[in-house]
Structure 1
Amino acid sequence: MTLIEQLYWGGAGLIVLWLVAFGLTLAATRNGVVTPGPATQEFGDDPESPAVVSLLGNRWRGVEHAAAATLLDLAARGLVELRQPGDDPARSSVHVTEAGRAAPGLLPHEQRVLERVTARAANGGAPIGAIAFRDDKRAAAWNTALRQEIIAEARLRGLSRSRFAPLLGSALLIGAFVPGALFAVAAVMGEHGVRAAAAVGVAPGAALSFLLAKSLGERATPKGLERAGHWAGLRAWLTAHEDFAQLPPAAVTVWDRYLSYGTALGVTNLTSRLLGFDSGDRRRVWSSYGGTWRPVRIRYPRLRPGFGGSTYRLLHLAAAAAVVAVGCCAFAVLRQPDWVVAVDEGSLRRPGVVLSAVWVGVALLALVVADMFRRWTLFAAFLAMMSGNFAPGSHGWFRDTAVHEGPVPAELAVITVFGAVAVYFLALACLERREPDTVTGEVLRMESRKGRRAARFLALDEGDSDVTTAWALPAASQGIATGAQVRLRVSRGTRTIRSAELVRAASPEGDRAKAAKQDAS
């Protein structure tokens, strides 16, 4: 065995050893068994906050419902107030009390939740649905920071610890890249080039590091297991109340802190669903633009032809549709029966071959004109032209089409549809030459679409309707954030934003720098 082979086999052996060590480490650091205590309604002498209880109740895997439980706990302590004016719990509102505005000594995660509520309810209160974020990235960052603060509190109380000790984690991380180093040396010695050496050297370490990163987290301490058993007893006591799971958020005035702990432990279904600190409902957003809170329904025109298209793009699409309509029409009119006479079994003039070749050629030409030609289209064309698709081409539908005078019904339908599409895009291109309209409002949501060049959705509340249709914001545009008030110059035909001017910076969600004026063209 050569030295190069020994290096490759040595690297493979080290990968196996790393996986064995990793598996043993996972087994040695798994959580212990939580022994549920007897059903009880007692919190204990020094109870943990509902957010920390959420961590314990989820077996140290996450803090689901922690933010909602913290909000309910703040309400039970009189720092915020939850009101339900009617029979619909979804119409409940949250208000910050005078005590909440000057609350001292709050834990970091409690302060974070209170600041979020205060920002949304700054003008006398807000619907509970308005607590949700309008921006996915902001919601993820906020919840990540909340989780870190909860874990820090749990560690401070001696209830949680890192799953891997720092020295052990570092050793596993370094060991993950050792096999790759052997592979890289072997590749260089084998004269495979620097790029190949870098690829085989990094790939194993990246894969093993990914496994290691997925396993990082928290695990219980003996005290944590004991306290988790106690809270499991409280969960059993709350579960015994059949109506507890359907209590609305405003029931905190009656159930006090029990409702917050029940939410943390996953007992309350309704309250947990209504009090969301995530990115919220993308189709129904609460807005206070205009002075009063109201839900605004957002429509996303995903299937609207020409949405977000420029004049140049619309002309391309019109030309492509015209190519299909004119090409099919010309072929149908000029087609002669003797073009497709089947001379023998191997003849390229069989009806199926000739008809398919022309139709596929017209389609490929249209894709080229529309600037939509991709490599996969060649593969689709190859499948369409396979001989097995028209083996019976000397008779049947292909034969009847070949001898038919003028377009057949299928061709007539294609000509009509694509002709209408060409006229539609041409009309949109003409409308794009008009002076853009000006609209002013507050940005409710912004969402990306598939494709780097695809325009983003921008939902704007103009203050005069409870329903809005999203506009198309060019993907390269920057400087616009959810919550900002903007003045847009738009083309209504394609619902495209041509330029955007900032009227007022986003508050409270807008924490990114804003440009004074943004050209969206």
Structure 2
Amino acid sequence: MTLIEQLYWGGAGLILLWLVAFVFALVATRNGVVTPGPATQEFGDDPEPPAVVSLLGNQWRGVEHAAAATLLDLAARGFVELRQPGDDPARSTVHVTEAGRAAPGLMPYEQRVLARVTARAANGGTPIGAIAFRDDKRAASWNSALRQEIIAEARLRGLSRFRFTRWLGSALLFCAFVPGALFTVAAVMGGHNLRAAFAVGVAPGVVLAFMLGKSLRERATPKGLERAGHWAGLRAWLTAHEDFAKLPPASVTVWDRYLAYGTALGVTSLSSRLLGFDSGDRRRVWSSYGGTWRPVRIRYPRLRPGFGGSTSRLLQLAAAAGVVAVGLCAFAVLRQPDWAIPVDGHTDDALRRPGLVLSAGWVGSALLGVVVAGKFSRWTLLVAFLAMMPGNFTSGSHGWFVDAAAHEGPLLVELTATVAFGALATYFLVLACLERREPDTITGEVLRMESRKGKGVARFLVLDEGNTDLTTAWALPAASQGIATGAKVRLRVSRGTRTIRSAELVRAAMPEGDRVKPAKQDAS
């Protein structure tokens, strides 16, 4: 065995040893078993906040419903008020009280939740559905910061700790890149350039470091396991009340902090569902643009032909649909019954099978349209090959393909497809003509913005014009910048393709949109 081979085998052996050590570390640092205590309604002398209880109740894996539980706890303590004006709990509103505006001595995660509510209820009360975020990234960032603040509080109370100690995590991270060093040396000795050698050496370490990073979670302490058992007893007591899970958020005035702890422990399904601090329902967004809060229903025209297309693009799509229609029509008119003959597997004329003849004409017309539309890729040929497979296995003297190939003149399916593609070509031409008109001007607030798959594909922009409870998303060019959720904009749009031609910022969105920042004082 040469030295180069020894280095490669040595690196592989080190990777195996690292994996064994990593598995052993995972087993040695796994969470202990929580022993549920007896059912009880007592919180204890120094009860943990509901947000921390959510961490304990989720086995230190996450803080699901922690934000909703914190809001209910703030309501129980008089910092906010939850009102339900009618029978529908989804129409409940949240209001910040005078005590909440001062809010002394709150923990960081409580301040974060209260700040979010205050920002949304700046001009009085706000529907509880309006607390949800309109932007997925902002929601993820906000909830991530909330989770870190809750974990920090749990560590201060001695209930949680790092899964790996600092020396163990550092040792595993360092050793993850040792095999790659051997691979790099072996690659250089083997005559590879430095870039290739570096890539070979770094790749294993990156994979192992990724595995290590995914396992860096929280771990229970003995005190944490004891307190988790106590709160499991409270969960059992709350679960025994059959109607507790269906309590609306406004019932906090009757159940006090029990509703908050029940939400943290996953018992109150209705309250935790209504008090969402995530990205919310993408098809139903609360908006105050126009003066009053109201739910706005949103439609996304994903299957609308020509959506977001320019004039040149519409003409190209019209040409593609027209090519398909002409190709199918020409094939149907010129096709003769003697083009195809029923054959068996031992005949040299296998290419004249009825199924292959028909499939070749139909798939060939479709391929021409794909080429004209500019959508031809390496996968197109694979799809075309698979589309011809059913006809390839057709032989003998009976079957749909045999009867269709023997038919004189166009088939019903060919006539239908020709008319459909012809109508589609006409539709694109009409849209292209409409695009030549002067764009309309509309003004409103951006409710949501969503990306779509594919490079250069227009994004969805949902605009609330303040005069309707139902809106349809517009197509915002992918290269557009400077527009954010919550901003007031003036758009020049083409209604036929629902395309935004230009956008003017009227009022910028509030920075971050989550915390109410104190006003800057004049230095003079």
TM-score tier (shorter): over 0.9
Contact 1:351 1:394 survives alignment (8 Å)? no
Bigger mean CA deviation after superposition, 204-213 or 424-433:
204-213
1:431-489 Cα offsets, whole Å, 9 max, x none, are 01110011111111111111122211111111111111111111121111111111111
C-alpha distance in structure 1 between counterparts of 2:290 and 2:47, whole Å:
44
Contact 2:120 2:126 survives alignment (8 Å)? yes
TM-score for the superposition, normalised by structure 2: 0.93
C-alpha distance in structure 2 between counterparts of 1:82 and 1:145, whole Å:
25
For 1:381, give the aligned amino acid. A
Residues 1:495 and 2:498 are matched in the alignment:
yes
C-alpha distance in structure 1 between counterparts of 2:491 and 2:454, whole Å:
24
Instruction: Indicate the SS of the match to 1:442.
Output: strand
C-alpha distance in structure 2 between counterparts of 1:83 and 1:3, whole Å:
76
Structure 2 residue ranges without an equivalent (≥5) = 515-524
Residues 1:469 and 2:472 are matched in the alignment:
yes
Describe the shift of the 1:349–1:126 C-alpha distance in structure 2 as closer, same or farther (beyond 3 A): same
1:367-404 Cα offsets, whole Å, 9 max, x none, are 11000101111122334456971552777555554454
Residues 1:93 and 2:96 are matched in the alignment:
no
Trace 1:360-375 onto structure 2 (pairs within 5 A): 360-375=363-378
Describe the shift of the 1:30–1:399 C-alpha distance in structure 2 as closer, same or farther (beyond 3 A): closer
For 2:431, give the aligned amino acid. L
User: Corresponding residue for 1:267?
Assistant: 267
Task: Give the CA deviation at 1:354.
Answer: 3.9
Q: Please, what is the CA RMSD of the aligned residues?
A: 2.0
Task: Give the CA deviation at 1:35.
Answer: 2.2
User: Corresponding residue for 1:247?
Assistant: 247
1:12-51 Cα offsets, whole Å, 9 max, x none, are 1111111111111111111122222232222222222111
Task: Give the CA deviation at 1:269.
Answer: 1.1
Describe the shift of the 1:358–1:49 C-alpha distance in structure 2 as closer, same or farther (beyond 3 A): same
For 1:414, give the aligned amino acid. A
User: Corresponding residue for 1:459?
Assistant: 462
Contact 2:29 2:219 survives alignment (8 Å)? yes
Task: Give the CA deviation at 1:182.
Answer: 1.5
User: Corresponding residue for 2:136?
Assistant: 136
Instruction: Indicate the SS of the match to 2:501.
Output: strand
Contact 2:447 2:462 survives alignment (8 Å)? yes
For 1:197, give the aligned amino acid. A
C-alpha distance in structure 2 between counterparts of 1:3 and 1:422, whole Å:
67
Task: Give the CA deviation at 1:276.
Answer: 0.5
Task: Give the CA deviation at 1:303.
Answer: 0.9
TM-score for the superposition, normalised by structure 1: 0.93
Trace 1:121-520 onto structure 2 (pairs within 5 A): 121-337=121-337, 339-340=339-340, 345-347=347-349, 348-385=351-388, 389=392, 391-392=394-395, 397-507=400-510, 510=513
For 1:499, give the aligned amino acid. S
C-alpha distance in structure 2 between counterparts of 1:36 and 1:314, whole Å:
65
Instruction: Indicate the SS of the match to 2:481.
Output: coil
C-alpha distance in structure 2 between counterparts of 1:307 and 1:375, whole Å:
25
Contact 1:484 1:510 survives alignment (8 Å)? no
Residues 1:103 and 2:106 are matched in the alignment:
no
Task: Give the CA deviation at 1:505.
Answer: 1.5
Task: Give the CA deviation at 1:341.
Answer: 6.5
Trace 1:77-92 onto structure 2 (pairs within 5 A): 77-92=77-92
Describe the shift of the 1:60–1:408 C-alpha distance in structure 2 as closer, same or farther (beyond 3 A): same
C-alpha distance in structure 2 between counterparts of 1:401 and 1:241, whole Å:
68
User: Corresponding residue for 2:522?
Assistant: none
User: Corresponding residue for 1:515?
Assistant: none
Bigger mean CA deviation after superposition, 313-322 or 354-363:
354-363
C-alpha distance in structure 2 between counterparts of 1:83 and 1:203, whole Å:
56
Contact 1:441 1:487 survives alignment (8 Å)? yes
Task: Give the CA deviation at 1:181.
Answer: 1.9
Instruction: Indicate the SS of the match to 1:153.
Output: helix
C-alpha distance in structure 2 between counterparts of 1:3 and 1:380, whole Å:
48
Instruction: Indicate the SS of the match to 2:322.
Output: helix
Describe the shift of the 1:422–1:236 C-alpha distance in structure 2 as closer, same or farther (beyond 3 A): same
Task: Give the CA deviation at 1:289.
Answer: 0.7
C-alpha distance in structure 2 between counterparts of 1:365 and 1:195, whole Å:
43
Describe the shift of the 1:186–1:400 C-alpha distance in structure 2 as closer, same or farther (beyond 3 A): same
Contact 2:8 2:182 survives alignment (8 Å)? yes
Bigger mean CA deviation after superposition, 61-70 or 32-41:
32-41
Bigger mean CA deviation after superposition, 454-463 or 126-135:
454-463
Instruction: Indicate the SS of the match to 2:496.
Output: coil
User: Corresponding residue for 2:6?
Assistant: 6
Instruction: Indicate the SS of the match to 2:347.
Output: coil
1:289-312 Cα offsets, whole Å, 9 max, x none, are 111111111011111111111111
Task: Give the CA deviation at 1:416.
Answer: 0.6
Structure 1 residue ranges without an equivalent (≥5) = 512-521
Instruction: Indicate the SS of the match to 2:418.
Output: helix
Bigger mean CA deviation after superposition, 188-197 or 474-483:
188-197
For 1:136, give the aligned amino acid. D
Contact 1:298 1:469 survives alignment (8 Å)? yes
C-alpha distance in structure 1 between counterparts of 2:280 and 2:32, whole Å:
35
Contact 1:235 1:267 survives alignment (8 Å)? yes
For 1:461, give the aligned amino acid. D
Figure out how many residues of one structure are paired with residues of the other and give that number.
511
For 1:129, give the aligned amino acid. G
**Identity %, equivalent residues:** 83
For 1:216, give the aligned amino acid. L
Residues 1:17 and 2:31 are matched in the alignment:
no
For 1:489, give the aligned amino acid. R
Bigger mean CA deviation after superposition, 316-325 or 216-225:
216-225
Describe the shift of the 1:3–1:502 C-alpha distance in structure 2 as closer, same or farther (beyond 3 A): same
